[in-house]
Amino acid sequence: METGGMIYPENALVLAPLSGFTDIAYRRAARRGGCRFTFTEMIDAASIAYASERTKPMLFRGEEEDFLGVQLVGADPALIEKAVLYLNELDFSLLDFNLGCPVPKVAGKGAGAALGCNYDHAMRCFEVIARLSRFPVTAKMRILDENDPEPSVRLACGLASLGAKAITVHGRTRRSFYTGKVHFEIISAIRQALPEVEVIANGGVHTVEDCTEIREKSGCTRVMLAQGAMGNPWLFREIETGCEPPDIEEWRSMVITHVTEMVGLYGEYSGMRQARKIVHDYLKGRGFGGAPKSKASLLSNLTELHELIYNAVPVAVSPQRKIKYSPLLSENTI
């Protein structure tokens, strides 16, 4: 691999697999914002095994994507086997297994974070992946106990013993979902227990300062960004280079290009409806009132998008998601 035998180089920033989000248009936006290491959406092994037509576009890799991981979720070894054999016919940089998704429709079927809590079955499932995959195999997990590192360390060591080359650790338990304290000390315990495995810290990174904190307190230089990068692809370059947030023209260009590519992928009707949540994320935390967000919920074509993006006026500015402001040009603030 271009990373010199590693999965990720030191200080790498990775875009998380986000179900319903990280299609190729989303990944291109992240790359324009400075990200190299990206994933497909999280994909259910059953959808691949049963040849779901909806799954095929999710597996598309662009020619410009020098790195693209694919992530599986599931809890049935037979379906996982079929999915891995199918993926072996495609082209990916690695195959990741999800042991951390807490949403009910996943965990309720014994997969994701629920599987992470079931050590023996998790090992059976991951063994199938490690044995059959032609790609390097990795895993993403959550911590299992907020006070005792031992269960989390045991799970991570089990995955490593079966061949996981890298393990991403979300520092919250299943019941915490995506809020609350990130337990850096548990991530650190896993990193110390696995000095030969790349451990990627994940959870609560929304700002440059958040990234600095998780690196310092977990001891991991590699970090995965998830919700913090939603609507803010510039966060990658801000962390890596210390550069300023985008100015208004770059912000407008990013939103319009992202949504236009979605329309190209899915057609105007479907693309614009899927894009509504994307536009909401770009508006989030940037000082807008309720009116632009309400309009974003009703977008049906690119003309409406242009009108929204060029006419929206801010009422306040959040320190977390600034746009570079020029006092000489009042239209340069949103």
Are 231 and 307 found together in one domain?
Answer: no
Read off the pLDDT of each residue in 189-193 and give the average, rounded to a whole number: 98
Give yes or no for a contact between 162 and 126, defined as CB atoms under 8 angstroms apart. Answer: yes
Q: Is residue 332's pLDDT more than 70?
A: no
Are 298 and 215 found together in one domain?
Answer: no
pTM of the model: 0.90
Residues 177 and 267: their CA atoms lie apart, in Å, by 33
Are 322 and 199 found together in one domain?
Answer: no
In a domain, 8, yes or no: no
Q: What CATH number should be reported for the domain holding residue 173?
A: 3.20.20.70
Are 186 and 255 found together in one domain?
Answer: no
Which pLDDT belongs to residue 268?
A: 95
Give yes or no for a contact between 94 and 7, defined as CB atoms under 8 angstroms apart. Answer: yes
Q: Is residue 2's pLDDT more than 50?
A: no
Residues 153 and 217: their CA atoms lie apart, in Å, by 17
Are 306 and 232 found together in one domain?
Answer: no
- Which tokens go with 120? 């023996």
3-state secondary structure of 85: helix
Give yes or no for a contact between 20 and 266, defined as CB atoms under 8 angstroms apart. Answer: no
Are 187 and 316 found together in one domain?
Answer: no
- Given 180, 206, 241, the domain boundary residue is 241
- Which tokens go with 118? 């079931």
- Which tokens go with 320? 């977390």
In a domain, 5, yes or no: no
Give yes or no for a contact between 99 and 140, defined as CB atoms under 8 angstroms apart. Answer: yes
Name the band, by pLDDT with cuts 50, 70 and 90, for residue 325. Answer: very low
Are 218 and 307 found together in one domain?
Answer: no
- Given 189, 213, 241, the domain boundary residue is 241
In the chain, the number of structural domains is: 2
In a domain, 284, yes or no: yes
In a domain, 316, yes or no: yes
The type of residue at 201 is A
Name the band, by pLDDT with cuts 50, 70 and 90, for residue 54. Answer: confident
For 104-173, the DSSP string reads: HHHHTTT-THHHHT-HHHHHHHHHHHHHH-SS-EEEEEE-S-SS-SHHHHHHHHHHHHTT-SEEEEESS-
pLDDT higher at 248 or 316: 248
Name the band, by pLDDT with cuts 50, 70 and 90, for residue 165. Answer: very high
Q: What are phi and psi of 331, to 5 degrees?
A: -75, -5
Mind listing the pLDDT tens digit for each residue in 258-313?
999 999 999 999 999 999 999 999 998 877 778 888 999 999 999 999 999 988 76
In a domain, 2, yes or no: no
Name the band, by pLDDT with cuts 50, 70 and 90, for residue 315. Answer: low
In a domain, 1, yes or no: no
Are 19 and 136 found together in one domain?
Answer: yes
Mind listing the pLDDT tens digit for each residue in 111-155?
999 999 999 999 999 999 999 999 999 999 999 999 999 999 999
Give yes or no for a contact between 134 and 108, defined as CB atoms under 8 angstroms apart. Answer: no
In a domain, 136, yes or no: yes
3-state secondary structure of 188: helix
> By residue range, what is the domain housing residue 232?
13-241
- Given 241, 271, 299, the domain boundary residue is 241
Q: Is residue 320's pLDDT more than 90?
A: no
pLDDT higher at 191 or 311: 191
Q: What's the mean pLDDT when you consider all of the chain?
A: 91
Are 259 and 110 found together in one domain?
Answer: no
- Which tokens go with 130? 């490690």
Highest mean pLDDT among 5-14, 155-164, 276-285: 155-164
Are 146 and 182 found together in one domain?
Answer: yes
Read off the pLDDT of each residue in 182-210 and give the average, rounded to a whole number: 96
Give yes or no for a contact between 124 and 152, defined as CB atoms under 8 angstroms apart. Answer: no
Are 90 and 236 found together in one domain?
Answer: yes
Q: Is residue 316's pLDDT more than 70?
A: no
Which pLDDT belongs to residue 334?
A: 34
Which pLDDT belongs to residue 247?
A: 83
Q: Is residue 3's pLDDT more than 80?
A: no
Residues 255 and 286: their CA atoms lie apart, in Å, by 13
Are 136 and 230 found together in one domain?
Answer: yes
In a domain, 31, yes or no: yes
Residues 40 and 17: their CA atoms lie apart, in Å, by 6
Mind listing the pLDDT tens digit for each residue in 213-258?
999 999 999 999 999 999 999 999 999 998 888 888 899 999 999 9
Residues 140 and 106: their CA atoms lie apart, in Å, by 14
**% of the chain residues with pLDDT over 70:** 92
Which pLDDT belongs to residue 55?
A: 87
3-state secondary structure of 317: coil
Q: Is residue 326's pLDDT more than 50?
A: no
Q: What are phi and psi of 200, to 5 degrees?
A: -110, 125
